[in-house]
Structure 1
């Protein structure tokens, strides 16, 4: 029988400032993004992506769209 396959991603170990720059560029190229997509596509740690994205939001570099509003 066929077992589900989990894709293994090798994370890149790059400096914080480079991660931040790549996340900004990724968001510019992809108007609607999810943090998990950023982490997967850029091969970055999801926790680091959350931290950096939240920092960018606080700095006013990125905005947030909340689709859960009534």
Structure 2
């Protein structure tokens, strides 16, 4: 598997909240650290995503904002 995106973060699927069309997928990338993504329900099925299985969060963005208090 190769991607042009540099941010490929491996984790474990912690939860999948299925909707009618889209699903919310929560990937735990470290103890207590999660990334959540909204993808189509058909993509969840095509990828074979299941709670407890490994998956990658692949982040490709033209902008990443940084903020401080």
| Structure having the higher Rg | 1
Task: Place the TM-score, normalised by the shorter chain, in its bin.
Answer: under 0.3
Structure having the larger proportion of residues in helix: 1
Could you tell me the TM-score, scaled by structure 2's length?
Answer: 0.24
Could you tell me the TM-score, scaled by structure 1's length?
Answer: 0.24
